[in-house]
Amino acid sequence: MGASFRYAVISDVHSNLESLTAVLNDIDKEKIKKVLFIGDVVGYGPDPVGCIELIKKRCTYAVAGNHDWAVIGYTPSDYFNYNARVAIEWTKEQLGNDELEFLQSLSIVKVLRKESLFLVHASPKEPDAWSYILSLHDAEINFQYFNERICLIGHSHVPFIIERLPSGEIVLYREKIEFKESCRYIINVGSVGQPRDGNPEAAYAIINDKYARIVRVRYDIEMTQKKMKKAGLPEFLIERLSKGI
Ligand code: ZN
């Protein structure tokens, strides 16, 4: 067994300050001191500067997501669909040097050796190709591309916990799991700022050396939507927040 630890893990904040604040308050209530960030602080939402400030202040370790890289020109914007591109261009206009420097400082993967955790936004196999882990088959392949016991990801905005037994069998869990000695795991912590699993509540994960669970937190969706309207961000991005799709 590795060292004992306790982390809150957050991903895909997407410039949603209301959901990020609600999640960080919940993490405080749980008395968790250390927060890991799995990428995409910006994109889609109306508060890129405020969200970067909070992530900088509160997160012990952070890695880059595809939207973070798009804003600083590391990932070409033709990778993105129209609405995402509009939001990326809008975000670029909001950021100053401090924010850009922070995004540039993020690494693409992070390994916590003592805890045997591997942090990456999209997939261990191709971290900067931003491919998705959407099926058990995708997961099975990706288990070959990291050596740690647990891989923490985001990117699809749909939380899940995948367990790999020593036999090679792969099992899917939705909300929580108690870790077994000889198994390995890929955990998608869901999205703080734009959930897409049909539940509009913000998602994050609590993980320690014994278990992991996905937590959902209510936040003021209408406030975020009002700000997005005012900023002139695409209608589709505004509407999807209340549906969680
Ligand atoms: Zn994202």
Convert the pLDDT of each residue in 104-128 to its tens digit: 999 999 999 999 999 999 999 999 9
Distance, CA 65 to ligand 1 centroid (Å)?
A: 7
Q: Mean of the pLDDT values across residues 175-198?
A: 97
29-38, 47-56, 71-80, 100-109 — which is least confidently predicted? 71-80
Distance, CA 194 to ligand 1 centroid (Å)?
A: 8
Distance, CA 162 to ligand 1 centroid (Å)?
A: 20
Distance, CA 166 to ligand 1 centroid (Å)?
A: 31
The pLDDT assigned to 72 comes to 97
Using the predicted structure, report yes or no on whether residue 1 has a pLDDT greater than 90.
Answer: no
If 0-12 CB within 10 Å is exposed, 13-18 middle and 19+ buried, where does residue 181 land?
A: exposed
- For domain 6-243, which architecture applies? 4-Layer Sandwich (3.60)
The pLDDT assigned to 2 comes to 59
Report the sign of the C-alpha dihedral through residues 106, 62, 53, 221, in that order: positive
Q: What rounded mean pLDDT belongs to the chain?
A: 96
Instruction: Break the chain into its structural domains and give their ranges.
Output: 6-243
Distance, CA 182 to ligand 1 centroid (Å)?
A: 31
Q: Mean of the pLDDT values across residues 163-179?
A: 96
Distance, CA 167 to ligand 1 centroid (Å)?
A: 33
Cβ atoms 118, 149 nearer than 8 A: no
Tokens read off for 155 = 């990117």
Name, in order, each residue with C-beta under 8 angstroms of 126's C-beta and a sequence gap of 6 or more: none
CA distances for 192 relative to 12, 27, 39, 210, angstroms? 6, 12, 11, 23
Using the predicted structure, report yes or no on whether residue 59 has a pLDDT greater than 70.
Answer: yes
Distance, CA 90 to ligand 1 centroid (Å)?
A: 16
Distance, CA 164 to ligand 1 centroid (Å)?
A: 25
Using the predicted structure, report yes or no on whether residue 32 has a pLDDT greater than 70.
Answer: yes
